[in-house]
């Protein structure tokens, strides 16, 4: 994987793909599926996300303040759904769903090797965790996989139905 | 337009489409393009969004506490980009970009007639506005246009490049 400039991170999150969120606590890595996230700032890149108190990852995210957001392409759809339907309470979810953890550079949570982009994040604001389980993350390092060209992402519409990226169009625009 | 059950709203926002945000203040309606938003809760539906202090809509949203989130299909791409590249400071943006405001049921901000879904929203939390321009909205009424079947949405990748919804896939899943 090669470094992804931090000022380009928003171009991966703003389109609203389903992502994987990895954490690690006491030597145990975990991964969950997440669709409730958004960009908050370009540089340094800030991302908001909702991680429910009911999710096993909540505890690790709160305790360690670190995670990785990994973006899967459509070929990983079955693993994405499997990760969303299993709990880290029941053992090593990486192994169970067939995903590969890899060491990150700045955080204890692992990268997800099969994903075309990996964003290493630190929690920088927990003010809205008590009311809404809303975490504010800063992306401190980012990676993309040059071997995955033009990856198509998944957009969850509920109950396992996803819109897959189709046509890519470009209109004349000054919007970043 | 027909009523959209509030517990179905997340299925329209979770996939991460580009949306339009309408506001109205002192009799002047305005509309902007927005991609930084996410679901926060299923029912009542809560949505977080970033509206920059630099956006003309910021003032109206803060003053009135009301807005409409309207979801455009791909056929509106040129108008979506036009709305994103113009400011409400320079006059009636609805007219300028060729969109039609229509009265909402519970808020002063207008629906956008051409959009296939319209969500009437009230601001319910401004705790993170000073630090991040993050508004928490509650959807208080919602509408969909039955005449627009299987609308394809736009996902912004930056600088006028959009992924358009392509194939729709469904996998066996218990995730709502």
Tens of pLDDT, residue by residue over A144-165, are 999 999 999 999 999 999 999 9
- B168 contacts in chain A (CB < 8 Å): 157, 161-164
Nearest chain B residue to A153 by CA distance is: B163
What mean pLDDT comes out for the span A51-57? Answer: 94
Q: Is A147 on the interface with B (CB under 8 A)?
A: no
pLDDT mean by block of 10 residues, chain B; 176 residues: 97 98 96 98 98 95 98 98 92 96 98 98 98 98 97 98 98 93
Of A40, A84, A163, the CB nearest to B165: A163
- How many Å apart are CA A107 and CA A25, to the nearest integer? 11
Q: What are the distances in angstroms from CA B32 to CA A151, A176, B10?
A: 29, 14, 21
pLDDT confidence of residue B175? 87
Q: Are B33 and B84 in contact (CB under 8 A)?
A: yes
CA distance B44 to chain A (A): 13
- B78 contacts in chain A (CB < 8 Å): 171
- How many Å apart are CA A89 and CA B29, to the nearest integer? 50
Return the closest-CA partner of residue A93 out of A33, A138, A47. Answer: A33
Tens of pLDDT, residue by residue over A97-132, are 999 999 999 999 999 999 999 999 999 999 999 999
């Amino acid at each position: 994987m090669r470094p992804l400039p931090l000022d380009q991170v928003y171009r991966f999150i703003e389109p609203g793909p389903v992502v994987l969120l990895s954490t690690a606590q006491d030597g145990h890595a975990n991964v969950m599926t997440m669709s409730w996230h958004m960009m908050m700032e370009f540089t340094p890149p800030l991302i908001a996300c909702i991680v429910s108190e009911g999710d096993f990852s909540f505890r690790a995210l709160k305790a360690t303040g670190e995670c990785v957001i990994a973006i899967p392409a459509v070929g990983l759809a079955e693993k994405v759904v499997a990760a969303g339907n299993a709990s880290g309470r029941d053992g090593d979810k990486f192994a169970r769903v067939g995903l590969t953890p890899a060491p990150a550079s700045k955080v204890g949570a692992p990268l997800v090797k099969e994903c075309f982009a990996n964003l290493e994040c630190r929690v920088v604001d927990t003010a809205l965790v008590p009311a809404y389980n809303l975490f504010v993350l800063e992306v401190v390092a980012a990676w993309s996989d040059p071997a995955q060209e033009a990856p198509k992402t998944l957009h969850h519409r509920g109950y396992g139905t996803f819109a897959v990226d189709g046509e890519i169009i470009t209109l004349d625009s000054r919007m970043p």
